[in-house]
Structure 1
């Protein structure tokens, strides 16, 4: 199996086959660039926080606040994750203080905006739904109707990144 396909392992054959053919024929990069011709301009962590808060305030006003949203260069090394949501609760003077943080893999600093949005939506959904269950994916699709397609495309973006790294 082509090592690039590790990002989409578990997807059905009717998805794996055309991707494999495009990679082997050298057409994958051109196809991806045609599908996503431009990258977002959300480069700073302040801009990422504001972007995330706009989505949160639109769909999840009543959930716990976010204390931090950052790009994290270490994420890609941890379990091939693309983003992480962390929740920390500390007892402070008899009160429980909680912090929700979202970390997005730095590779998505230079990605198409729909893929960044999908990752932000995914991590925001974890504030309310901890497990990847039906309720979690329903919430993701509520915030981003094309969620499942964009999740696949984010994985295809990882393949795109690796192909272009080799050039």
Structure 2
């Protein structure tokens, strides 16, 4: 139950019970019956831009949003926000990128939204502090429940199963 470290023992044991009794997949399928349709990098960029335009109009522009095969979910990275800076003449140009682990191409849309919201929140708040999580909850009111369910989803994937 490596994805549930830090959660209360009672919750971890409930999750372990679901897993042991082959009820984790049906539980997740009931809550999240279908995968999202955001499969290409272009579609992911548009999806992210729509969320950014709705909730973070004043934030810096994002130049790139892609699915990344190199992000290792097993090392607790679901997505990344990257800032690259270049000097052009006497100006400093900064580009913001968001990278989402490719394993989420076939995930429920709610999980994709949770990850994108998390990475967008880093445009304003660098650290995982109270203000960061308030911003996440502003963009996705069910953020914390989705984070827990996403961790259950990753636990399922870790067994070699798929949801869809």
TM superposition score normalised by structure 1: 0.92
Where structure 1 has 5 or more consecutive residues not aligned to the other structure, the ranges are none
Contact preservation (8 Å) 2:73, 2:101: no
SS at match of 2:44: helix
1:155 lines up with 2:161 in the alignment: no
1:23 lines up with 2:14 in the alignment: no
Task: Give the structure with the larger helix fraction.
Answer: 1
Distance in 2 between the 1:78 and 1:72 partners?
A: 14
Distance in 2 between the 1:154 and 1:101 partners?
A: 23
Partner of 2:133: 137
Where structure 2 has 5 or more consecutive residues not aligned to the other structure, the ranges are none
The partner residue of 1:88 within 78, 84, 91 is 84
Deviates more, 1:157-166 or 1:90-99: 157-166
Deviates more, 1:57-66 or 1:153-162: 153-162
1:59 lines up with 2:50 in the alignment: no
Contact preservation (8 Å) 1:87, 1:98: yes
Change (3 A) 1:47 1:162: same
Number of aligned pairs? Answer: 162
CA RMSD of aligned residues (A): 1.4
SS at match of 1:127: coil
1:43 lines up with 2:78 in the alignment: no
The partner residue of 1:110 within 97, 106, 112 is 106
Partner of 1:76: 72
Change (3 A) 1:165 1:41: same
Contact preservation (8 Å) 1:129, 1:135: yes
Contact preservation (8 Å) 2:98, 2:119: yes
TM-aligned CA deviation for residue 27 of structure 1? 1.3
Deviations 1:89-121 (A, max 9, x none): 222211110111000010100000000000000
TM superposition score normalised by structure 2: 0.94
